[in-house]
Amino acid sequence: MIIKLGIGYSFRKFSAVTWPFQSRTDQKKFRIFTIRLSIVAFLLIHLNSCNGQTKNNKSEIEGNQINSILQNNDLKSTVNSIDRNIRSIFQDSKGNYWFGTNSSGVYRYDSKSLTQFTEEDGLSDNQILSIQEDEFGNIWFGTGGFGITKFDGTQFIIQSQSNNLNITQGTATDWKSKNNDLWFYAGGGVFRSRNSELDYLPFDSLIPKADANNPYSLSRFGVYCILKDKKGNVWIGTQAEGVCRFDGKTLTWFKDKGLSGPAVLGLFEDSKGDLWFGNNGAGLFRYDGKILTNFTVEKGLDNPEFIATGKPGLGTLARVYSINEDNFGNIWIGTVDAGIWKYDGDNLTNYTTKDGLTCNAINTIYKDNYGELWFGTDSNGICKFNGTTFSEFIIK
């Protein structure tokens, strides 16, 4: 039986006219806000007295300035720098950049100012693993703890809580997909958002019932990455069971050549239609629609030491976290211990801190709306590549 419950809302919006406050944090924010408002009011009054009689149109302008300040709640979270551990990057349809971090929430950059949002603003968790946008312009965040939060431009709304979620049986009927569905990680399957409803789809026929019914308990089938390809297939990378493809009707598993075992952390479809899978230990895999190839082993860049003892290694292509493609058809592969690799179809080139990369641990590679690549590192912020060297992206 499928139990359908309404989507819950969890958001505390700070307002200058709301009292009593719900927490000491809100009280502190109110005091800061009133101090800023007092300063602005003092300056406006001082200017008024210095200029003698003030014309009516100037008074109207100054009044509008005060109203603008009252309405601008973003002042409380505007910052000057980004956390150094970047887990996700996204550019929305308005051109804003979003930078998700490992523990400091998400930052929005509109090319003029940088605004930070955290759990205090309504996020389900401060670890931001994925960012996407729906057809209505809402921004969705997949967070730590398998949480999901929607930002509608005004407020953050937590979507995934155990008491307001449709937990399905994972049958073929439950898994039916539509083009505009959004997909998120879960502990033993996936979350799917559709028409303001959230469903949990477990790999029910493959895992114990107790694990299947708990989307927040990590299992071997726990989901670490999701990709929807050009044909509408949904590809799912798991903790230890390789990659699953859902074509809208059936689930097909890919586990050969070392793909299962270590976690699959990266999925990508290139311009030729080939699928690339990034495995944390077994390396990079390519699937051309017929044959699955362990690209890392084929190129002699594997690291058996990591599988055996956990020892990382520079110059290897064994621990792949992220994959992308530039506008020239080059495939870029981010590793967690050996920097970045570029594959031009014939040759592989390795870039590390010796080439200006700020960190050899790359969590994510993102191509924006202008075709530029952004590299989010594990401990040294964001890098960009100018065609020759890397440099840190710094907001001035």
Identify the CATH number of the domain in which residue 97 sits: 2.40.10.500
In a domain, 325, yes or no: no
Helix (H) or strand (E) holding 375, with range, is strand 373-377
The residues with which 376 forms a beta bridge, in sequence order, are: 364, 382
Q: Which domain does 2 fall in, by range? A: 1-67
What pLDDT does residue 58 have?
Answer: 37
In a domain, 23, yes or no: yes
In a domain, 276, yes or no: no
In a domain, 282, yes or no: no
In a domain, 266, yes or no: no
Q: Write the secondary structure of 235-259 as one string of H (helix), E (strand) and C (coil).
A: EEEECCCCEEEECCCCEEEECCCCC
Is 96 found in the same domain as 45? no
Please say which residue of 159, 194, 225 terminates a domain.
159
Sheet order of strands, 390-392 included: 362-367, 373-377, 382-385, 390-392
Is 91 found in the same domain as 144? yes
What pLDDT does residue 18 have?
Answer: 29
Q: What angle do CA 146, 151, 157 make, to 5 degrees?
A: 60
Please say which residue of 159, 178, 210 terminates a domain.
159
Please say which residue of 103, 125, 159 terminates a domain.
159
- Tell me the torsion sign for CA atoms 240, 246, 251, 257: negative
Structural domains in the chain (count): 2
Question: What is the distance between the alpha carbons of residues 22 and 29, in angstroms, rounded to a whole number?
Answer: 12
Question: What is the distance between the alpha carbons of residues 194 and 135, in angstroms, rounded to a whole number?
Answer: 11
Is 113 found in the same domain as 55? no
What pLDDT does residue 51 have?
Answer: 42
Chain-centroid distance of CA 357 in Å reads 22
What pLDDT does residue 205 have?
Answer: 61
Query: What is the pLDDT tens value at each position of the chain, 396 positions in all?
Result: 322 233 332 333 323 322 233 333 444 443 444 444 444 444 333 433 334 433 344 334 333 333 333 344 444 467 888 999 999 999 999 999 999 999 999 999 998 999 999 999 999 999 999 999 999 999 999 999 999 999 999 999 998 765 578 888 888 888 887 778 899 999 889 999 887 788 999 886 666 565 666 788 888 899 999 999 999 999 999 999 999 999 988 899 999 999 999 999 999 999 999 999 999 999 999 999 999 999 999 999 999 888 878 888 889 999 999 999 999 999 999 999 999 999 999 999 999 999 999 999 999 999 999 999 999 999 999 999 888 889 899 887
In a domain, 113, yes or no: yes
Question: What is the distance between the alpha carbons of residues 141 and 127, in angstroms, rounded to a whole number?
Answer: 10
Instruction: Please name the residues in contact with 43: beta carbons below 8 A apart, sequence gap of 6 or more.
Output: none
Count CB atoms within 10 A of the CB of residue 70.
14
- Tell me the torsion sign for CA atoms 157, 163, 164, 166: positive
What pLDDT does residue 53 have?
Answer: 38
301 close to 318: Cβ distance less than 8 angstroms:
yes
In a domain, 250, yes or no: no
63 close to 70: Cβ distance less than 8 angstroms:
no
In a domain, 285, yes or no: no
